[in-house]
Structure 1
Amino acid sequence: MLQLCFVRVSFEKDTKIMNAASFTIEREDHTIGNILRMQLHRDPNVHFAGYKLPHPLQYKIIVRIHTASQSSPTQAYTQAINDLDKELENLKQAFEANTFE
């Protein structure tokens, strides 16, 4: 059996700006990009968070994060993903509780 290993997220540190980096997320589009950007904006240590879809025919997004000196882009990214996971789990539980009553 052939198994393919595919890395969905790659990291590139910015060489010109301290505490800035880009995360390329494969096989995602505006849906995840916008949700992740908005979650990053909730973090007081994030100075800038944005994303772009490089080309309509390329199925990937590039998320740019610039943080304060007491944090790192990787920490902000990980925290945003964890917070979104918890938020979506709470939404799912609330939906299921109201649906199956």
Structure 2
Amino acid sequence: MNAPNRYELFVLEDGEKPVEVSEDTKIPNAATIKVVKQDHTLANMIRAQLLAMPEVLFAGYKVPHPLHPYFLIKIQTDGTITPTAILEQACTKLIGQMAALETKFKREFSFKEVEPTEGQDVYGTVGADGAGGGAWSSGRDYLDF
């Protein structure tokens, strides 16, 4: 089979750089960043976070070939910030979002160990009148209890 060994898809070799930046000479305030040993999962999250930032004019990525574990992300900014600095900010925001998601996820599974008493709904899906809705109809998220 032509596929590389599984560990080669995520383990950096000696001297291999995880990120390489090359400034774009034809487009102002643009750069192409090569991220090694990652795939669509990280690339799409970074792209989406970059597009949510007002300083970014363009952000897109491509995976040149599925057997080569890297992606290229191109970023163009409005000139108030460099592409590498905005990428760093986007990654910092993503790390914060993932930490918050992890906290909510762990908190949700801590509710699994709580046994509801008679007539009590731990997740707030039943209203006080016994009908459906509960916290959902009030606009609160079930993680906000």
Q: Which has the larger radius of gyration?
A: 2
Alignment of 1:1-101 (within 5 A): 4-101=14-111
Tell me how large the CA RMSD over aligned residues is: 1.2
- DSSP 3-state at the match of 2:64: coil
Higher helix share: 1
5+ residue gaps in structure 2?
A: 1-12, 112-145
**Amino acid in structure 2 at the alignment position of 1:25:** V
Quote the Cα distance in structure 2 between the aligned partners of 1:4 and 1:55: 23
- Structure that is richer in strand per residue: 1
Residue deviations 1:61-85 (CA, integer Å, cap 9, x gap): 0000000011110111001100000
TM-score (norm 2): 0.65
Which consecutive residues of structure 1, in runs of 5 or more, have no partner in the other structure? none
SS state of the match for residue 87, structure 2? helix
The one-letter code sitting in structure 2 at the alignment partner of 1:37 is: R
**How many equivalent pairs are there?**
99
Q: Which runs of 4+ in 1 moved over 3 A?
A: none
Query: TM-score when scaled to structure 1?
Result: 0.93
Q: Which amino acid aligns with 1:89?
A: A
Q: Secondary structure at the match of 1:69?
A: coil
Deviation readout 1:12-59 (Å, 9 max, x if unpaired):
000111110011000111111111100000100000000000112111
- 1:41 is matched by which residue type in structure 2? L
